[in-house]
């Protein structure tokens, strides 16, 4: 995906700049570069005005914004402490005491479990970092953090203690390589699929869509009767504009839904999502909390009433800047979000697949595993660009066997820290013949069918891979993830991010 971003972030900072200028008349504020802040555990008041004597005119408290994306770029020292001008999800709020932030903290994943794999490129120990903050509660660039070793090899079984240090504080992570080198090797299905169905071609470069505020819902009708209707427009961005680590959005890549929450992976540019070790943010929305399908577009602006902004912010959670890979291989359950942090431009290397488990409660990674899948022998690997999650112990990987012109469905099960694999089914053809990347993959457990999305195409397939239907659309917009919500297919689209409800 290649998208020009010029002029795609309208009205992000003008109103917030005005607000800070108005409040700063009371006392001269010290400006800084744009900082990402991490909330601490206590609730503090937010004030409209600040002076050397202190603060006045309470606006609200920090409670609704505990899991928002927090930023600041100015502070004032007073007799009663240091106060920072706080932005939440891109909107200016007011002045808050520095003690609100999580200061001098290092948050890392305590336990990492790797499959034994001598062909792997090595586990990047920075992947375990959720955040590191300085004495003011600002997130520190990772290059400033001392890590005892940059990678851990998975060639030899054993446990490695990895240390993380910054500004006199330290944390540690224990990385264990499991002993079974044959883990994940399974017999493939030999019998060919006979119910092939049709193939199609699709465009590979975006030609439609707009980042502008949308005031009308959309309806798209597929060639086999499936209808896509607007369910929820998302914000272009949930922050002030900035560097990739401070900016949340503009580019969505994957989407998942479970237990009322829709989660999407976000990157500042499409190029950032296409790197070998890509990092980004996750944003989760409790869909039932929004009064209108249009409202969320206005979250980083002053166009929403403040009461609505608070209500919506209480029902949005944003992760820190974490390792996500391309962000398409994402799934969720009631308690967790799972991301297989892959490299989307890799073909089929013998690398291990890295999966991160993120708590939905606070959007922090709490566990990392790697697993591998191979068909009969290790020299026939299955590196997954797309997965869907069934439950906390089961996921299904989609593998494109381009040499044999078919897609394979692999069930991957976890017992403790170990993984087993078995092939469920396979298609009889490539579905799309001009090598277009899969844009979404999900499993309808109740009806035991798969959906695979390409740009402007959605295929419905049985568990064994046999063809059921194909719907071709004319949206001229990229699909960016699909999922099942209350037994029905939902589709996320780009430019601007728009969740669609499917009916057939």
CA separation (Å) from 352 to 161, 205, 287? 21, 30, 35
Could you read off the pLDDT of 20-66 as tens digits, one per residue?
444 444 578 999 999 999 999 999 999 999 998 889 999 999 999 99
- Domains of the chain and CATH, by start: 14-100 (2.30.30), 106-177 (2.60.40), 185-503 (2.120.10)
Mean pLDDT value across the chain: 94
Reading the block at residue 232, the tokens are 């929820």
Task: Give percent of the chain with pLDDT exceeding 90.
Answer: 90
Name the token pair of 437.
């990347």
pLDDT, tens digit, for every residue of 210-252?
A: 899 999 999 999 999 999 999 999 999 999 999 999 999 999 9
- Give the pLDDT score at 206: 63
Give the C-alpha separation, 125 to 190, whole Å. 39
R_g of the chain, CA atoms, integer Å: 23
Average pLDDT estimate for 259-267:
98
Report the alpha-carbon angle 75-308-253, nearest 5.
Answer: 80
pLDDT at 357 over 80: yes
Are the CB atoms for 162 and 395 separated by under 8 Å? Answer: no
Cα angle for residues 448, 410, 345 (degrees, 5° grid): 120
Q: Which helix (H) or strand (E) holds 130?
A: strand 129-132
The residue-averaged pLDDT of 372-388 equals 98
What's the pLDDT score for residue 480? Answer: 97
pLDDT value at position 328? 96
Distance of CA 37 to the CA centre of its chain: 19
Residues with Cβ within 8 Å of 305's Cβ and at least 6 positions away in sequence, in order, are: none
Please give the model's pTM, rounded to 2 decimal places.
Answer: 0.94
The reported pLDDT for the residue numbered 207 is 64
- Report the alpha-carbon distance of residue 318 to residue 431 in Å, rounded: 35
Q: What is the pLDDT of residues 297-315, one digit of tens each?
A: 999 999 999 999 999 999 9
Helix (H) or strand (E) run with residue 488 in it: strand 488-493
For 296, residues 6+ apart whose C-beta sits below 8 A from its C-beta are 232, 233, 234, 235, 285, 290, 312
Least confident interval from 112-121, 195-204, 225-234, 291-300: 195-204
Mean pLDDT (whole number) for 254-281? 96
Between CA 165 and CA 211 the distance in angstroms is: 41
- At residue 497, the pLDDT reads 97
> Which residues have C-beta within 8 Å of that of residue 22, sequence separation ≥ 6?
none
Is residue 236 classed exposed, middle or buried when 0-12, 13-18 and 19+ CB atoms within 10 A define those classes? Answer: buried
| Residue recorded with tokens 């943010």 | 281
The CA-to-CA distance between both ends of the chain, in Å, stands at 28
pLDDT tops 60 at residue 502: yes
d(CA 127, CA 150): 10
């Amino acid at each position: 995906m290649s998208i020009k971003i010029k002029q795609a972030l309208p009205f992000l900072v003008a109103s917030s700049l005005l607000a800070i200028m108005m409040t700063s008349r009371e006392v001269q504020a010290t400006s800084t570069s744009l900082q990402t802040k991490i909330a601490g555990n206590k609730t503090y008041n937010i004030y409209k005005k600040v002076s050397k004597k202190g603060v006045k005119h309470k606006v609200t408290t920090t409670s609704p914004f505990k899991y928002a994306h927090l930023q600041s770029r100015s502070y004032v020292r007073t007799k009663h402490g240091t106060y920072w001008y706080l932005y939440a999800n891109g909107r200016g709020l007011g002045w808050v005491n520095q003690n609100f932030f999580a200061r001098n903290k290092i948050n890392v994943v305590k336990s990492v479990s790797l499959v034994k794999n001598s062909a792997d490129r090595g586990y990047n120990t920075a992947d375990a970092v959720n955040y590191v903050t300085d004495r003011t509660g600002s997130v520190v660039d990772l290059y400033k953090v001392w890590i005892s070793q940059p990678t851990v090899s998975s060639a030899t079984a054993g446990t490695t203690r990895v240390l993380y240090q910054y500004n006199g504080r330290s944390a540690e992570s224990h990385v264990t390589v499991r002993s079974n080198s044959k883990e994940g090797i399974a017999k493939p299905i030999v019998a060919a699929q006979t119910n092939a169905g049709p193939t199609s071609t699709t465009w590979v470069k975006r030609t439609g869509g707009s980042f502008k505020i949308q005031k009308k819902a959309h309806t798209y009708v597929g060639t086999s009767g499936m209808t896509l209707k607007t369910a929820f427009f998302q914000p272009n961005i949930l922050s002030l504009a900035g560097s990739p680590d401070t900016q949340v959005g503009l580019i969505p890549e994957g989407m998942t839904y479970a237990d009322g929450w829709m989660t999407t992976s976000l990157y500042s540019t499409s190029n950032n999502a296409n790197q070998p070790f890509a990092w980004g943010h996750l944003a989760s929305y409790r869909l039932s909390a929004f009064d209108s399908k249009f409202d969320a577009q206005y979250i980083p602006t002053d166009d929403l009433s403040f009461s609505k902004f608070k209500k919506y912010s209480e029902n949005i959670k944003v992760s820190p800047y974490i390792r996500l890979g391309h962000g398409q291989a994402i799934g969720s359950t009631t308690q967790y979000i799972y991301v297989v942090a892959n490299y989307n431009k890799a073909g089929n290397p013998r690398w291990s697949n890295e999966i991160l488990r993120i708590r939905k409660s606070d959007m922090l990674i709490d566990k990392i595993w790697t697993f591998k899948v191979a068909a009969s022998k290790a020299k026939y690997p299955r590196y997954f660009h797309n997965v869907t999650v069934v439950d906390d112990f089961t996921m299904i990987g989609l593998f494109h066997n381009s040499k044999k012109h078919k897609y394979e469905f692999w069930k991957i099960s976890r017992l403790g820290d170990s993984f087993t694999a078995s092939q469920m089914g396979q298609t009889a053809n490539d579905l799309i013949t001009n090598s277009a990347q899969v844009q979404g993959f999900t499993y309808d457990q109740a009806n035991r069918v798969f959906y695979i999305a390409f740009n402007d195409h959605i295929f419905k397939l049985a568990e064994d891979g046999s063809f059921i239907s194909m719907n071709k659309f004319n949206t001229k917009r990229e699909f960016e993830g699909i999922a099942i919500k209350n037994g029905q297919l939902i589709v996320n689209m780009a430019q601007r991010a728009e969740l669609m409800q499917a009916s057939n």
